[in-house]
Structure 1
């Protein structure tokens, strides 16, 4: 009787210890998963530079300057409004205009939110000798294109098309495995000369990745002269 009683008591204690260990393991795992999720949700908070592009009919758009590495591995184009609108248009007429907004969460753009932040406006590339010309507000109105950079291999050049109105689209080269390039152009809806499938224009890849060759290849593909080309970040 005494032996059986002690065995039962030890078994109960072992079961209790097992249940307690399991409970705390599950709690710890749950907390870790939650912490990782929170970190993942906020990992895109930071400095997200952009280039402004302008169409006389459609207005000003901001294109996130993508890179291969996270958290910048997104091609995002947004319709925007800016303070000092006329001054910014003059800067755009003079050449490249880049924007450095105050730190914000890129998830806002990925999810299509509308919001405003303070920003510096540069004539030229803000990381390559560009000069600050104005500090004001940039308001993100609506998303035009949101795509993640995936480093795919392809023998062809693919271009996303996104409607801006009933008469015009914006065309963006799908950044692929390096070497690649970022290119943006405005294009009228009628008279597309290139093959199009599911809002993607497919063309031959340029033989070399320089501005002149890329521009000529886009022209052969029926895409107008690009308003922006970036090569260095995708070599």
Structure 2
């Protein structure tokens, strides 16, 4: 009997510990006609201790077009409330890459009163643009580094999370034709949101090119 109970315990424990990244991985949704993107909302603990940015589309063409139209050129926050899956399947080295998943597409934050606009949509993963595990160690960086998402006129800056505490930040801006897609870095003022002027100076564009903020959050990254 003891051996049977031990075997059952080991089986149960193994099933629960199969992948530490399994969970409901909410994401910020942004983009428009030139591209549609989803950014995982990270924390400094499992299963959410990864910064992941995806280029995606909605499998249903009519829903995809309607969503892009509603997002295009706007800064209203949209989020993705997906079914549970292993985030590790989005790693470029995964032996079982995640190609698509079901999700509610929500106007607002799905955990903070947002309203579902497109329920149970099938999200297709076109490309993994970033996949990096976050370190839980306390660390301070003097600079705030941003990666550029998109290569056309409508682009987005996404803060690289590289400190603890830190902030998650997504900013749309209008790029000139042929503008560089290189990362930018500006002086970091603790957990204060960078100004449009400071972002514009780092990009060498007028302040009017910065279109506002899609997402800024600090609470989950302390």
Q: What's the TM-score once normalised by structure 1's chain length?
A: 0.67
Counterpart residue number, 2:166: 180
Cα deviation, residue 106, structure 1: 0.5
Give CA-to-partner distance per residue, 1:84-113, whole Å, 9 cap, x none: 113323543482110111111111112373
Counterpart residue number, 1:206: 189
| Structure 2, unpaired ranges of 5+ | 1-9, 205-209
Preserved CA contact (<8 Å) 2:167 2:191 = no
The structure with more helix, counted as a fraction of residues: 1
Let me know the Cα RMSD of the aligned residues: 3.2
Counterpart residue number, 1:142: 127
Counterpart residue number, 1:43: 20
Preserved CA contact (<8 Å) 2:33 2:68 = no
Higher mean C-alpha displacement, 71-80 vs 179-188: 179-188
Higher mean C-alpha displacement, 85-94 vs 148-157: 85-94
Q: Are residues 1:71 and 2:50 paired?
A: no
Aligned mates of 1:216, 1:208 — CA distance in 2? 17
Cα deviation, residue 221, structure 1: 2.2
Counterpart residue number, 1:102: 83
Preserved CA contact (<8 Å) 1:91 1:123 = no
Give CA-to-partner distance per residue, 1:145-184, whole Å, 9 cap, x none: 112222532122122346x448786532122334421123
Preserved CA contact (<8 Å) 1:45 1:106 = yes
Aligned mates of 2:46, 2:163 — CA distance in 1? 15
Rg: which structure is higher?
1
Preserved CA contact (<8 Å) 1:53 1:228 = no
Describe how 1:107-126 pairs up with structure 2 within 5 A: 107-111=88-92, 113-126=97-110
Aligned length: 192
Describe how 1:3-82 pairs up with structure 2 within 5 A: 42-57=19-34, 59-82=35-58
Instruction: List structure 1 segments (4+ residues) > 6 angstroms apart after TM superposition.
Output: 166-169
Preserved CA contact (<8 Å) 2:146 2:157 = yes
Higher RCO structure (Cα 8 Å, ≥6 apart):
2
Aligned mates of 1:207, 1:104 — CA distance in 2? 34
| Structure 1, unpaired ranges of 5+ | 1-31
